[in-house]
Chains A and B, each alone.
Chain A
């Protein structure tokens, strides 16, 4: 929230307000992005969106409705369509450049991939949240002997597995154990320090940092920067129901971490979805501040994904609110909500379950909606045993001046 230096003193107050309101970025959809997918492909649920240093857009997707994937059945049920590989690389004008990955691609491919990041060297990082959390709100399902996703994978841009941190396991939750993650949901790399930061996660409640080359554990912390020894190992929190208790003190622990962002000034931002809040830390894990995001929201909550604006000072923190179908624009330093944009719906430029956002270097914004609606088709689903949760959508937004 800096003011323009040329403002005269007498106009300071008035101009300050104007400068801020004018500067808050506004966006409009680019309806032509992406172009038609090749090979009769359809995207499944959008599990992550990242932009690399060449402004290519990487989309992590998996799992769609059977009715959208008729051509992949045996025998084929229709001409349309075939699930795209899990990792799809798009050019800035929306052409598919490459695609790889998916169930069975490597033995430790996550049961439910979640979170993608491409570091400066072009390596592709993927997390996964297959766990009791890979289920509907309020009804975590126990896994029948299937290992939970406790790993982060690093691939070359071409899809060669380079490094694995953690491994699939059913071992009890242990936030002090750096050898196993706990449904890691998002990843960012500090290229200068060669360190990878992991939002860990959906059933651990911590941020952990590893060497990006060796995978050696460096450090970690919980909410408010508490040491890992003080992080709660109890069962993961459930998305709450009922009326939010706005008078209750903020939780001392993370609820569920859905995203992590690294600012150029060295601050680490973490989205704590269940607790409707964002916490900021130094890279060493010292707590700096927290701010709440639409605390009146309950159920699927409000703080889903983070994207730091690419202006020189990184003035804004964009927070996707998937429950309400909009993006809330925060003053990154002050933590106040300056603006919100978007509208829930399926029309072009609207948002359904908006789970991801990423900027390219030109401040174009890419969004990922996790999935389109499920519904009433629960009845048909029960009759047929088919999946009726359709894939999501990626969209591109450009600055509207």
Chain B
């Protein structure tokens, strides 16, 4: 029953800034606690699954309404009930455009209203023409959708199915390129007119399609294996017969759950195999280059890679990794994966994280971080002088 007196001074050096282990030029970022401005219209958002800056440095945020509501108390959708039970709130449309100051410019993306809109919006990319690319990772969302900036459906890759519910209800098929399987992350290679898809909440593969025609170009699995060699068992998180997972053992030959795909300026494809606690790096042709483990011993189901961003310096010297199991943004040397720092720590206050899931830089090197359960918000971090 003795009280624990806590000596703190030494501990507080960690704070919200990167630990600098011989990496003087690693990004140093601090939170801007007042971005964005309060949402209008009594809007409330759910899991923030995508954060992307467009060429005008407007920030596009994709969130997921279905994650908002508690079926019993409607505590976040009180104003949307019939009759309303509280002054606040109603669900915001799932795609929101902010200007650089954090004002809402427009919002759209409503299931049942916006053509093709997925049940569980997940991936977000914007191409050079300003088109918006969206995916979803529930059972019906077996497609990637291309929209104009004002919400006109321009192209669909894959198909929308009639199957209801979570992705775990869907059967993987890693050989069929007409139907996607839980596409979670997207990135466009504008010069080649190609879109890269992490098809990874049901399937275990990377797919590349033509951004104009939607024609299939190529695809591969972990370590660059051809699609024909990807097994069609359900992902480990849904398959209890797989037995206990030893993250320190032999790395799995197949992807365990893809949450991120990003293209570096020097032409490499970085794939976040989140539930494998690793990043695999490929050429654009799908040739395996290397893999980087991230907090490899983590046993938590969410894994350690929900999103990847490249540091804002010319050489993109560092990787920033959103780690939802440890509630930090990790900074790694892009070259060899050595950890050089962290941003933030667990919590619900400014600059803290509870399941960071989406990263995006604007042209000034400001970093925007979206969070899913449980913080459901977007935060802005600015470079420290």
Chain A residues with CB under 8 A of B252? none
> Which stretch from A79-87, A192-200, A228-236, A258-266 is at the chain B interface?
A79-87
Chain A residues with CB under 8 A of B15? 35-36
Check A347/B377 contact, CB under 8 A, given A36-B14, A68-B327, A299-B74: yes
> Which stretch from B31-39, B307-315, B358-366 is at the chain A interface?
B31-39
Q: Is the CB of B78 within 8 A of A35?
A: no
Judged by a CB distance under 8 angstroms, whether B374 is at the interface is yes
Query: Nearest residue in A to B73 (C-beta to C-beta)?
Result: A137
Q: Is the CB of B88 within 8 A of A95?
A: no
The listed residue (A99, A161, A321, A325) touching B6 by CB distance below 8 A is A99
CA distance A377 to B298 in the complex (A): 21
Q: Is the CB of A75 within 8 A of B299?
A: yes
Judged by a CB distance under 8 angstroms, whether A393 is at the interface is yes
> Which stretch from A13-21, A164-172, A368-376 is at the chain B interface?
A368-376
**Please, what's the 1-or-0 string for B167-184, where 1 marks a CB less than 8 Å from any CB in chain A?**
000000000000000000
Q: Is the CB of A38 within 8 A of B6?
A: yes
Judged by a CB distance under 8 angstroms, whether A345 is at the interface is yes
Judged by a CB distance under 8 angstroms, whether B241 is at the interface is no
The listed residue (A31, A33, A78) touching B295 by CB distance below 8 A is A78
Q: Is the CB of B85 within 8 A of A390?
A: no
Judged by a CB distance under 8 angstroms, whether B250 is at the interface is no
**Please, what's the 1-or-0 string for A99-141, where 1 marks a CB less than 8 Å from any CB in chain B?**
1100001100000000000000000000000000000111100
Chain B residues with CB under 8 A of A78? 295, 298-300, 325-326
Judged by a CB distance under 8 angstroms, whether A395 is at the interface is yes
The listed residue (A31, A77, A344, A352) touching B350 by CB distance below 8 A is A31
Q: Is the CB of B299 within 8 A of A37?
A: no
Q: Is the CB of B85 within 8 A of A379?
A: no
Judged by a CB distance under 8 angstroms, whether B221 is at the interface is no
Q: Is the CB of A39 within 8 A of B6?
A: yes
CA distance A297 to B81 in the complex (A): 11
Q: Is the CB of A372 within 8 A of B349?
A: no
CA distance A374 to B85 in the complex (A): 18
CA distance A274 to B87 in the complex (A): 16
Check A376/B4 contact, CB under 8 A, given A38-B11, A78-B298: no
Query: Nearest residue in B to A137 (C-beta to C-beta)?
Result: B73
The listed residue (A296, A302, A350, A375) touching B46 by CB distance below 8 A is A375
* CB-contacts of A143-161 with B (<8 A): 158-161
CA distance A237 to B166 in the complex (A): 37
Chain B residues with CB under 8 A of A375? 46, 67-70, 76, 373
The listed residue (B4, B345, B354) touching A36 by CB distance below 8 A is B345
Q: How far is the CB of B157 from chain A (nearest CB, A)?
A: 26
Query: Nearest residue in B to A136 (C-beta to C-beta)?
Result: B72
Q: How far is the CB of A158 from chain B (nearest CB, A)?
A: 4
Q: Is the CB of A299 within 8 A of B78?
A: yes
Check A344/B347 contact, CB under 8 A, given A80-B326, A137-B73: no
Q: How far is the CB of B368 from chain A (nearest CB, A)?
A: 13
Grouping DSSP codes into helix (H, G, I), strand (E, B) and loop, the A interface class, with mixed when no group exceeds half, is: loop
Query: Nearest residue in A to B353 (C-beta to C-beta)?
Result: A80
User: Which residue, of B71, B73, B74, B84, has the highest number of chain A Cβ atoms within 10 A?
Assistant: B73
Judged by a CB distance under 8 angstroms, whether A346 is at the interface is yes
Q: How far is the CB of A37 from chain B (nearest CB, A)?
A: 7
CA distance A225 to B66 in the complex (A): 46
Chain B residues with CB under 8 A of A39? 6, 11
Judged by a CB distance under 8 angstroms, whether A255 is at the interface is no
The listed residue (B1, B85, B86) touching A161 by CB distance below 8 A is B1
* CB-contacts of B147-168 with A (<8 A): 166
Q: Is the CB of A388 within 8 A of B373?
A: yes
CA distance A148 to B130 in the complex (A): 59
Judged by a CB distance under 8 angstroms, whether B222 is at the interface is no
Q: Is the CB of A67 within 8 A of B300?
A: yes
Q: Is the CB of A324 within 8 A of B68?
A: no
Query: Nearest residue in A to B48 (C-beta to C-beta)?
Result: A346
Q: Is the CB of B75 within 8 A of A373?
A: yes
Query: Nearest residue in A to B37 (C-beta to C-beta)?
Result: A347
User: Which residue, of B66, B83, B166, B326, has the highest number of chain A Cβ atoms within 10 A?
Assistant: B326
Query: Nearest residue in A to B14 (C-beta to C-beta)?
Result: A36
Chain B residues with CB under 8 A of A79? 295, 298, 326
Check A96/B6 contact, CB under 8 A, given A294-B87, A300-B86, A324-B78: yes
Q: How far is the CB of A244 from chain B (nearest CB, A)?
A: 8
Q: Is the CB of A85 within 8 A of B377?
A: no
Q: Is the CB of A373 within 8 A of B1?
A: no
CA distance A321 to B85 in the complex (A): 12
CA distance A33 to B376 in the complex (A): 20
Judged by a CB distance under 8 angstroms, whether B385 is at the interface is no
Chain B residues with CB under 8 A of A189? none
Q: Is the CB of A373 within 8 A of B374?
A: yes
Chain B residues with CB under 8 A of A353? 75
Check A31/B38 contact, CB under 8 A, given A80-B327, A98-B6, A372-B375: no
Query: Nearest residue in A to B79 (C-beta to C-beta)?
Result: A324
* CB-contacts of B283-332 with A (<8 A): 295, 298-300, 302, 325-328
Q: Is the CB of B298 within 8 A of A77?
A: yes
CA distance A390 to B253 in the complex (A): 34
Chain B residues with CB under 8 A of A343? 38-39, 88
Chain A residues with CB under 8 A of B75? 300, 323, 352-353, 373
Q: Is the CB of B327 within 8 A of A138?
A: no
Chain B residues with CB under 8 A of A139? 72
Check A299/B85 contact, CB under 8 A, given A78-B300, A375-B68: yes
Q: Is the CB of B71 within 8 A of A378?
A: yes
Chain B residues with CB under 8 A of A377? 67, 373
User: Which residue, of B81, B85, B295, B347, has the highest number of chain A Cβ atoms within 10 A?
Assistant: B85
Chain B residues with CB under 8 A of A97? 5-6
Chain A residues with CB under 8 A of B326? 70, 78-80
The listed residue (A31, A137, A326, A376) touching B87 by CB distance below 8 A is A326
Query: Nearest residue in B to A353 (C-beta to C-beta)?
Result: B75
Judged by a CB distance under 8 angstroms, whether A29 is at the interface is yes
The listed residue (A38, A43, A302, A344) touching B76 by CB distance below 8 A is A344
Q: Is the CB of B325 within 8 A of A80?
A: yes
Chain B residues with CB under 8 A of A68? 327, 346, 354, 374
Known: A70-B325, A300-B78; 17 extra A-B contacts, CB below 8 A, are A34-B349, A38-B8, A96-B8, A100-B1, A100-B3, A136-B73, A138-B73, A159-B1, A297-B87, A298-B85, A300-B85, A325-B89, A344-B42, A344-B44, A345-B45, A376-B67, A376-B68
Q: List 13 A-B contacts (CB under 8 A).
A: A35-B12, A36-B12, A38-B12, A42-B346, A70-B326, A297-B85, A323-B75, A345-B89, A347-B36, A372-B348, A373-B68, A375-B67, A393-B348
Instruction: Report, nearest first, the 4 A-B pairs whose CB atoms are least far apart.
Output: A31-B33, A324-B87, A390-B374, A323-B86
B-to-A contact residues, CB < 8 Å: 1-8, 11-12, 14-16, 31, 33-34, 36, 38-39, 42, 44-46, 66-76, 78, 81, 83-89, 166, 295, 298-300, 302, 325-328, 345-351, 354-355, 373-377
